[in-house]
Amino acid sequence: MDLVPAPSGETPVKVPVVEVEAVDVAEPVNAESVALEEASSVYETDSDDSDGWDAMSGDDTIQMLRDEQLRDGLVPGACTLEEAVTFRNRLHAIGKAAFVEETIVRETVTAKKLCTAFGIVPPAFLEGAPDESFHPLLAIAISREFSRRRKLPDYNTIDDAVRLLRESKNIIVLTGAGISTSLGIPDFRSKDTGLYSKLEHLGLSDPQEVFDIHVFREDPSIFFSIAKDILPTEKKYSPTHGFIKLLQDKGKLLTNYTQNIDNIEANAGVLPENIVQCHGSFASATCVKCEHKVSGDAIFGEIKAGNVPECSACRQIIEADALKPQGLKRKRSSNGCQKDRKEFEDSSDEEDYEIPNPGVMKPDITFFGEDLPDEFGRRLIHHDRELVDLVIVIGTSLKVAPVAEVPGILPRDIPQIYISRTPVSHTGFDIDLLGDCDVVVSELCRRAGWDLKHHMIPVDEKVDVTPVEGYESRHVFQVVGA
């Protein structure tokens, strides 16, 4: 929580020092430090909860307010939507310290009412309490609002989006499962898709266990029993993949950060150096015992057949081993082949010997419980952040780390466009283009005068674009006659 302790010169929102001075203490105490400590202890309670609301409220629940509720005046004593927007703009314009000075310190508004400007209903358990009681809550609300990316006011219309596409030279494209669903590839990490219902018969308590590295190590057959459903069957790709390739052809693609593991970007011709596969992919596989690496194609046949693919390097060693005289064979080993060559021993104690199994080839996708590829943070922070001039997020609700962090990590003046079926509220995009992402990108290309050819886009396709009422930067795309 960045409000506490307050940097020098800032006015922290905290229990007023006056109260501390009134406390009867035996020894002289630095009043200010006590006040800070008290305030700190309030904030520490939310250390393991990014929003902090639950911890702040104890048993009571703190209700969040939507802007629609402010607009409709449904909450007694709350700001109007206009007042709320003015307060938020003011906060971003002058910073936290000056904002608190101007409002709470000068008593131009109560903390209780100001909480509503930042989307918090004054909790019932504070009803009738002095206004200071709302300060800790307000401090969190202000910090949260201040760290949120602000929508840039200059980008709102489809024309703005098209102009950004045409003028930008270093575009980051963030993609998720939504760009592959038109190819029939299930959004396998989402809990409410067909794939997970298939897993019930495997007796898993949580379907995500299929992608848990510990479960994989225990019984890889569980993963491989469903992996064949995730693997793309042919070298096909969607119009949205084609759009990313088109950006590459035009020299505008800085990086495609994809959460998908289907490696379909490659089918579209997006070059490996332009892709960061944030969760790894099926493009390669590694032996869990000897770390022998192969290209993904080498084991696709086995995967398609529903088998557990085994390591050819391990097998060779085992076979070579079998031909050796008894005394030179290795002792039993739980952890593989090449690594413990040195453990060859000359005893003829046959009881120690067992026929070893080759290692399992694990596709290089990132399982739950495994580290994400280093490439992600390295490229984003040390390379792309300096160069990017447009961000386009497609087909992901941006709820899964680390990709969810990307819009916040990039400079705030870089425009961000969101393309998906449903809008997200937790981060402020500049332009929301809602609908089937294949339809949205094909219409954008049409308007940009770009030729996005794909057999899934009818040549005579007409797309209706309608604004969403109340949002000047939100537009719905729909194929005419669909």
Kindly list the catalytic residues.
279
Q: Which stretch binds Zn ion (CB under 5 A): 107-115, 204-212, 312-320, 398-406?
A: 312-320
Q: What is the DSSP string of 54-79?
A: HHHHTTSPPPBPPHHHHHTT-STTPP
Q: Which is nearer to Zn ion, 39 or 303 (CB)?
A: 303
Give min distance, CB of 289 to Zn ion, in A. Answer: 5
Query: How do strand 416-420 and strand 390-394 relate by DSSP bridges?
Result: parallel
Phi, psi of 431, rounded to the nearest 5 degrees: -135, 130
**C-alpha–C-alpha distance, residues 147 and 12, integer Å:** 16
**Residue 290 annotated as part of some ligand binding site:** yes
Question: Chain centroid to CA 447: how far?
Answer: 30
Q: Name the DSSP letter for residue 103.
A: I
For residue 474, state whether it binds Zn ion (rule: CB under 5 A): no
**Contact characters 317-356, Zn ion, x per CB under 5 A:** ----------------------------------------
For residue 287, state whether it binds Zn ion (rule: CB under 5 A): yes
Give min distance, CB of 356 to Zn ion, in A. Answer: 10
Q: Which stretch binds Zn ion (CB under 5 A): 210-218, 290-298, 380-388, 401-409?
A: 290-298
Q: Which is nearer to Zn ion, 279 or 289 (CB)?
A: 289
Give min distance, CB of 156 to Zn ion, in A. Answer: 55
For residue 313, state whether it binds Zn ion (rule: CB under 5 A): yes
By the 10 Å C-beta count (0-12 exposed, 13-18 middle, 19+ buried), 38 is classed as middle
Q: Which stretch binds Zn ion (CB under 5 A): 12-20, 117-125, 305-313, 370-378?
A: 305-313
Q: Which is nearer to Zn ion, 279 or 292 (CB)?
A: 292
Please say whether the beta carbons of 361 and 286 come within 8 A: yes
Those residues whose C-beta lies under 8 Å from the C-beta of residue 205, and which sit 6 or more positions away, are none
Please say whether the beta carbons of 141 and 118 come within 8 A: yes
The pair of structure tokens assigned to 13 is 């929102």
Q: Which of 78, 311, 365, 439 binds Zn ion (CB under 5 A)?
A: 311
Give min distance, CB of 221 to Zn ion, in A. Answer: 18
Q: Which of 91, 111, 314, 452 binds Zn ion (CB under 5 A)?
A: 314
Q: Which of 245, 289, 362, 475 binds Zn ion (CB under 5 A)?
A: 289
**Residue 311 annotated as part of some ligand binding site:** no
Phi, psi of 399, rounded to the nearest 5 degrees: -105, -10
For residue 395, state whether it binds Zn ion (rule: CB under 5 A): no
Tokens 């006590």, located at residue: 34
Q: Which of 359, 363, 395, 435 binds Zn ion (CB under 5 A)?
A: 359
Cα within 13 Å of Cα(134), Cβ side: 25
Give min distance, CB of 310 to Zn ion, in A. Answer: 8
For residue 292, state whether it binds Zn ion (rule: CB under 5 A): yes
Q: Which stretch binds Zn ion (CB under 5 A): 57-65, 266-274, 280-288, 407-415?
A: 280-288
Cα within 13 Å of Cα(441), Cβ side: 29
| Closest to 170 (Cα-Cα) out of 415, 401, 398 | 415
Beta bridge pairs of residue 474: 432
The pair of structure tokens assigned to 3 is 């409000």
Q: Which is nearer to Zn ion, 249 or 343 (CB)?
A: 343
Triad 50, 56, 61: Cα angle to 5°: 100
- The footprint of Zn ion (CB under 5 A) covers 287, 289-290, 292, 311, 313-314, 359
Binding-site residue set: 287, 290, 314, 337
Binding-site residue set for Zn(2+): 287, 290, 314, 337
